[in-house]
Amino acid sequence: HAAGTFLLSELVAAPPHGTAVAVAIVLVLVGALSKSAIVPFHFWLPGAMAAPTPVSAYLHAAAMVKAGVYLIARLAPGFAHSPGWHPTVITLGLATMLLAGWRAVREYDLKLILAFGTVSQLGFITIMVGGGGQDMMLAGLAMLCAHALFKATLFMVVGVIDHATGTRDIRRLAWLGSRVPGLLVIAAAATASMAALPPFLGFIAKEADFEAIAHSASLGFWAPVVLAGVVTGSVFTTIYSLRFLWGAFARKGFPSPTILVSNLHRPKATFLVAPAILAAAGLLFGLAPGRLDDSLDDYAETLPAAGAADGHYTLTLWHGFNLPLLLSVLVLALGAGLFFGRNRLHRVRDSTWLPLGNADRIYDAVVRGADVASVRLTAVTQRGSIPATQAVILSTLVLLPMVVLTLGARDHPDFRLWDSLVQPVVGLLMLGAAVAATVMRNRLAAVLLVGIT
């Protein structure tokens, strides 16, 4: 209504302003965040793990959960500096990345490790594409592409493991890497990209993210906070990446393969074609990111430049010794150190309660509370009395228009009692029928009188 169009391209080209628009944008953000499983709307995504693996790969890596991120990216050129945009996107994105990353290191089901990893990465991507500025958008889109490639690969790998062994529980898997070395190579390549190891696309995207955040003028005072949060979340990413690869394929001190691995149904070579292609794509784009940079930069340039230095970053494998490289090394070192000291980490993990894992319980409690409240409200308003029911309906029909007429925007009214003599006659007839209906004891007659009104 404010912009006079529904086309996103026209909305961001000439964004409308005003209090109502700011409120509307925040509400649209809430819808986008719930679509992409951002805290506090994240609880549905891990529960979708019952889906067959190709469906999981499609939903969680490529399509459905990216729809909210896509909408944020489309709106960012016009509304990234709207009131409420940065507090909503940055706060919820950081909370999602950290809480979901922590939860991922608590899981034993391979799919749930990837599911909570997906939630964490979605929070990260949301920060980047919603942060404002050309370099932030370029880095966010690069991470989106990297995530689609490595996460789809890993979901398919889990499907192959489940099909071959009948389990996804890492406590029941050992020596799998020696039994299916081809699957191990594919999983290792995708996991390396997820952990941001060179020369994979995940490394290039993570360095771009660190660089964009560290020098972002659009984030303002948020920049150091966001950078610290993203670095911490990336440490969790390294930990659950190693946990996934080690849990699925390592020997883990077992003298021989577990029973399920010993009796595995060896997967056909065709099962490995699709994940191998995606894993190879992550490597090829890492070695030669120029074409991807050109494609993503075209859209990033639709955003206003956030300062003189914004918009000059390019995706490449080597930028020299700089802050992003230092942060990447720090993240990998801390993540690897915490993983290999996992006995102490497990004690902290198992003794620490965080609300992310209980969001489904909170949601169920809210639904139960709403059900109880509706029952009590119905008991008050629906007592089986037709006069009482009619009184509620008619009062609503009278009061709502009165509120709108009293508080709503309108031109200066021209008060007239009537335009013709027919109107007061009809009005008196309606009032008389309404009064008569309230005192009429015969229900059929009361209904007829209500019809007259």
Q: Are residues 282 and 212 in the same domain?
A: yes
Q: Is residue 116 part of a domain?
A: yes
Q: Is residue 203 part of a domain?
A: yes
Q: Is residue 426 part of a domain?
A: yes
Distance CA(200)–CA(280), nearest Å, equals: 9
Q: Are residues 172 and 282 in the same domain?
A: yes
Q: Are residues 394 and 268 in the same domain?
A: no
- Reported as a single tens digit per residue, the pLDDT across 43-58 is 777 766 666 767 777 6
Residue given tokens 């507090």 in the structure block: 87
Q: Is residue 178 part of a domain?
A: yes
- Which domain covers residue 263, as residue numbers? 8-363
Judged on CB neighbours under 10 Å (0-12, 13-18, 19+), 398 is: exposed
- Reported as a single tens digit per residue, the pLDDT across 198-222 is 999 999 999 999 999 998 887 878 8
Q: Are residues 286 and 434 in the same domain?
A: no
Distance CA(181)–CA(190), nearest Å, equals: 14
Q: Are residues 263 and 195 in the same domain?
A: yes
Q: Are residues 43 and 154 in the same domain?
A: yes
Q: Are residues 341 and 397 in the same domain?
A: no
Q: Is residue 42 part of a domain?
A: yes
For 236-374, list the strands marked E by DSSP: none
Q: Are residues 312 and 450 in the same domain?
A: no
Q: Is residue 374 part of a domain?
A: no
pLDDT at residue 392 in the model:
79
- Reported as a single tens digit per residue, the pLDDT across 382-430 is 777 777 777 878 888 888 888 877 776 666 667 777 888 888 888 899 9
Q: Are residues 336 and 391 in the same domain?
A: no
pTM: 0.78
Among 109, 102, 89, 104, smallest CA distance to 38 is for 89
Q: Is residue 379 part of a domain?
A: no
Query: Is the pLDDT reported for residue 317 higher than 80?
Result: yes
3-state DSSP assignment of residue 109: strand
Distance CA(97)–CA(235), nearest Å, equals: 11
Q: Are residues 346 and 421 in the same domain?
A: no
Q: Is residue 351 part of a domain?
A: yes
Query: Is the pLDDT reported for residue 356 higher than 50?
Result: no
